Chain A
């Protein structure tokens, strides 16, 4: 192609008008339009180009620059009739209906597959699993529990056996049954359908659970894998491998290379053993750079490590290739590698020149450090080998590098720290017993291998991990940010695509086969998952339990039973197949015989059914009967030959019966099954433990395990970690709150009328799920609030005071990692300790108060009246209060701020009284560091008026007599070193609270390491420190109790008093409402008081002005009038908005909807409760306003309200409110309320007939619903019209549209 000629031909083409999209000129066929206000070079456009662009960009037809909407008119075919012909209409309508039907059929099908088929098959699968295992194992009809605990073997005597058989009680209603009855009641009467429905519900529950559990396990696995990078204790092949090798490295390398010449692949693998060692050997060189501990240094190190690993990977490839060629020319190889290494060094140098000078220096230093290794001939071979090893190391997870590196940093002096632990299993000469082995495994993989590394090293390593983590964080975040930015472009269409994908997967779109394919796939997955996760453990668990309960019977009888079972089933299946086979063959023969007789053509035998007359049909049916008869004969024949019950089997195969449920007596209870499944899992865990411990012993003899074995070990390790996480999380999130909730319930029992532990237990037995959930929920709430309290205290007190409670906001706090890192026993100990603390807190602090209250005050206050005796009167005013005022009140008071302030006040006061300000709040108060000694009571009294600063301090009691002054200040107490931050790392070897002097020097004469001084501060502790702390804790409790009682009991008692005065004393008011009411009064009093206090100056001024104006009557009158006017405005606006409009709305709804319904359902005289309609109207108003402001923000109503209250809620703008809101609303509702009355009145007047009173009443009553109906009809009619016309237009467009005509902007 050559465009040159075209491009340079003429230059005045620019002057002609061109399309702004394709830059082409207008032609006769494709003229240029100017459809918008744009001018200049982008004035003109081709219609076609514009349409293409609009279609492409999916935007509204407006100009993207000047926003002018493009004007298109439709061009219809000239032969379009004015009215669309009826046939066309009908045809299109049918088309539409057909497609709807197809769509709904499809939807129903999809719903069937996912809501019925999948759950049902899941349910059946579960049944089949249990049946299979039960049939195989059941030795008698005892329940599993009886079998296990009573030790009943096979019954010897049938009679005795019958005696022991427990008559199956009517089974407790299943979960699905209960749910179904909750939802549907007794809608279906057919037992089969009911059974199916039950099964479906149960299946849905099971399916949901399975999906939930799988997702949960998957998520936890992700977490574990993410955190495992830092987990020092996961079984890690490379880490595990290195074993002490005293020989010099060079020798090892030589050994590695020599066999390598003979056996390339093996050589490839072998050095992995030394990878860690080799890397470590390298480490000291790097240490020079990293030891300084700069962030940059470490990152450099990492990068360099990566560089070298990359290089190493290439080197390794070289080696592999080399040996693949397999020439025995070793020197060449060494040269090759050395050369390669030099190239690599050159490359690094070249790259470094891009960096800043400082970095360059450090790298050069590094290279300098490493240079001798390169130069020395004797170690020439060592270097490549090291690289090869490193390459193998790189084959493992990338994270390993970091891991190794970290340890290097942590242990610069010990080059081979990992070796020590591995000796232990070998040193253990005794063969460990089963439980010892399991214990070892538990220690190694669950408890976390604390025995492998002594605490010091672990602590050091973890510390380094954290530091390193902190350093890496900026880099990691940067990476994430980059990814996020890169992702942003692609985000736009993702949601739509995702939704389409989901639709396609569930089969709403796409071919129908996909639906069934996916459905079958899901079913298979589901049944497979259930088989693996439920059935296999169940089987194993049952097996194990039986073996353990009565092994002799078991081994004697079970094989026979299993064999019998398999044989039975095999025979069943064989006979079924055989019978149907025989049956089929006979049928075929018979039919073809008959058909050859009666039909003219034998090639289309089935046509005969259609063609032949009744006589022929009779022949066929006769022959059919004969076939059946013969088949029965055959069955009898077979039955005669010694097989049992074949007919029975044929008609009712046991599995079929079982699937339909309940026919086979089900003598295994749900609890038995749960126990069995748990036992199975336990057994599997033990098995895994045994395997792992065997593996870890085997690895001792330096034979690398097989790949499969390694995979198994890895999977088991992961499973162990996941299990650990699940167990700990379950304990912390489920068991612990449950425990708290139960305690809480016990502690708060006196609050409830007639509640006792026995009644609670009964409730739990009757409604186990509800009870467990309620207790769990209460416990969770309690723990949440406790955590809130702790975090509030953290904000008040000195940082570091609460170092023993983990701060969840600490950036270094990684719960999952902690779970993975810490031994299970340690975590359990921690949990038990905190359980103890919580327990005592609940029992003493809450229970003590509540029980104490009951003892002291007696029945006057407790129990609380929880009973709901209906609302107060007809109007739900109390609900209204909750709904409307609560939000404003909370916003106004900000309870959290109030609580925090009050606690801050308490801590300040308490600390100052107890001389703990320095310790608790971290402020140094010199006066607290000793006590004043007064020589006489007068001095003590005088001290209140004297400045204490002038008193001279003395050090010891001996000095008292030496000083002359009347008041002395005796210093006592001591300074201690305390943590200065809540995120400090606790170490075993570091003692907290070491006694120091004021300058942070130890008084016990020991030397401090930098570690000891990290994150510490010096605080003062007075004498009797523990007593003071105990006092403080008691004070906290008393303060909390007092505050709590005041805040709860005060309003409650006030509210009760008021309600008792107002309402029927026989029906005591609900205490929640009493409390709320009392609280409102308290709050109102508080608000008024606060207003008066804060604005007292303002009020005084106003008052003075008023008083002043007395002397000027005119001004006084003006002022008075002004006050009246603003008060009048206030009252007007609030009365209208708060009372009139809601009342009108409530009344309208009452008249139009409630009363007609009321009349329809009962003949009673309807009564309109004004207050109730007002209350409801207020709620409706609020609801309507909320909805309208969400749907359409900045509506007229909203702006009107905003401008009404622009000057604050105290000074509403009456004019705006009147014009924009009140007048229209009153007019609107007035018309609606009065118009019907007027209509009836007018009708009566016009007809001039005397109507009876009844008719008149009826007509007044009915006119409202009639008008409502009329309005509804009009509305519906218009809606239908709109739909029809739009459909008409669409149809017209579909059939007759031939094109669009773009219009230029100027000409209209």
Chain B
């Protein structure tokens, strides 16, 4: 019989601290993340640069990451705090991407288990995935149907809307 760790939060905080440290020391380009408040390690704020050669280029998109108490067993949730017109981002900013979905059978069979959340993943990988998601939306599992339609049918219009949003986030 194996014993459970006495305090789940403890593991989570320890791991989050390690990840934070790692991000500070050698985080990848175009990404920055950290706790909003050092007293609460379960709420992070992050900034993602728009990938180059996409309509998002030049934008910097703020988002919040909310970690559950049993992190890293359960995935965090990510929500853009700026306006985001993207097939995989809900209108309220919540990101819908396989890496943020808890393991288990996906009823729609869109995502295989290896693409989903597991403790092997990390904040860094989430942010990189989101960045590549910005570049290449997955219209099979759309979160914003309007954006899906526009993206599928009228790429120019999509680019226009996204660019307008980029300008808005930059305060132009």
Contact = CB atoms under 8 A, between A and B. Distances in A.
Interface in B47-63: none
Given A58-B104, A64-B103, A485 B142 contact: yes
B26 to A, nearest CB: 8
B103 A4 contact: no
Given A21-B72, A52-B4, A65-B114, A14 B119 contact: no
A492 B39 CA distance: 34
B120 A18 contact: no
Nearest to A48: B2
A53 B21 contact: no
B129 interface: no
A23 B120 contact: no
Contacts of B104: 57-59, 492
B135 interface: no
Given A1-B39, A24-B14, A58-B104, A64 B19 contact: no
A24 B12 CA distance: 11
A64 B114 contact: yes
A464 B1 CA distance: 71
Contacts of B70: 56
A52 B114 contact: no
A11 B24 CA distance: 11
A22 B10 CA distance: 10
Contact of B119 (A1, A20, A492, A1300): A20
Contact of B38 (A1, A59, A1300): A1
A938 to B, nearest CB: 66
A713 B91 CA distance: 42
A1297 B2 CA distance: 10
A53 B102 CA distance: 12
A491 B107 contact: yes
A48 B5 contact: yes
Contacts of B146: 478
Interface string B125-145: 000000000000000001101
B1 A1299 contact: yes
A4 B17 CA distance: 9
Given A1-B39, A53-B118, A64-B113, A7 B17 contact: yes
Interface centre among A42, A64, A1299 (most CB of B within 10 A): A64
A482 interface: yes
A1299 B119 contact: no
Nearest to A480: B145
A491 B101 CA distance: 13
Interface string B31-42: 000000011010
B20 to A, nearest CB: 7
Interface in B89-136: 90-91, 96, 101-108, 113-114, 118-120
Contacts of A478: 145-146
A51 interface: yes
Contacts of B18: 18, 23-24
B17 A3 contact: yes
A814 B13 CA distance: 58
B25 interface: yes
B126 to A, nearest CB: 15
A909 B70 CA distance: 76
Contacts of A347: none
A1298 interface: yes
Contacts of A1: 38-39
Interface in A35-58: 38, 42, 47-49, 51-53, 56-58
Contact of B15 (A23, A47, A52, A57): A23
B5 A57 contact: no
Contact of A486 (B4, B38, B90, B107): B90
A1298 B1 contact: yes
Given A7-B20, A59-B103, A65-B120, A2 B38 contact: yes
B128 to A, nearest CB: 14
Interface in A468-516: 478, 481-482, 485-486, 488-489, 491-492
Contact of B14 (A22, A42, A492): A22
Contacts of B106: 492
Identify the interface centre among B24, B70, B142, B145: most chain A CB within 10 Å of its CB: B145
Main secondary structure of the interface of B (DSSP, over half): loop
A59 B1 CA distance: 19
B150 interface: no
A902 B38 CA distance: 80
Interface residues of A, number: 42
A65 B112 CA distance: 11
A989 interface: no
A416 to B, nearest CB: 39
Contacts of A18: 18
A933 B172 CA distance: 82
Contacts of B1: 1297-1299
B145 A485 contact: yes
Given A14-B22, A481-B145, A22 B15 contact: yes
A6 interface: yes
Nearest to B21: A7
Given A3-B38, A56-B70, A57-B104, A64 B11 contact: no
B38 A4 contact: yes
A1300 to B, nearest CB: 7
Nearest to B146: A478
Contacts of A485: 90, 96, 142-143, 145
Given A14-B25, A64-B113, A491-B107, A23 B19 contact: yes
B103 A57 contact: yes
A8 B106 CA distance: 40
B82 interface: no
B83 to A, nearest CB: 10
Contacts of A1300: 2
Contacts of A11: 25
Given A3-B38, A14-B25, A52-B4, A21 B103 contact: no
Contacts of B107: 488, 491-492
A495 to B, nearest CB: 9
A485 B147 CA distance: 13
Contact of B73 (A38, A47, A53): A53
Nearest to A60: B113
Interface string A63-75: 0110000000000
A1273 B80 CA distance: 67
Nearest to A59: B103
A6 to B, nearest CB: 7
A492 B2 contact: no
A359 to B, nearest CB: 15
Contacts of A489: 101
A488 B2 CA distance: 35
Given A486-B90, A492-B104, A57 B142 contact: no
A1300 B145 CA distance: 48
Interface string B57-80: 000000000000010111000000
A38 B114 CA distance: 13
A49 B113 CA distance: 19
B22 A52 contact: no
A1297 B74 CA distance: 29
Nearest to B118: A64
Contacts of B25: 11, 14
Nearest to B145: A481
Contact of A57 (B22, B39, B118): B118
A49 B119 contact: yes
Contacts of B20: 7
A492 B105 contact: yes
Contacts of A22: 11, 14-15, 72, 119
Nearest to B96: A485
Nearest to A24: B14
Given A22-B15, A1298-B1, A1299-B2, 10 more contacts: A6-B17, A7-B17, A21-B15, A21-B119, A21-B120, A23-B18, A53-B118, A56-B70, A59-B104, A491-B107
6 contacts: A21-B120, A22-B15, A57-B73, A57-B103, A59-B104, A65-B118
Rank and list the top 3 A-B pairs by shortest CB-CB distance, nearest first: A23-B18, A21-B119, A56-B73
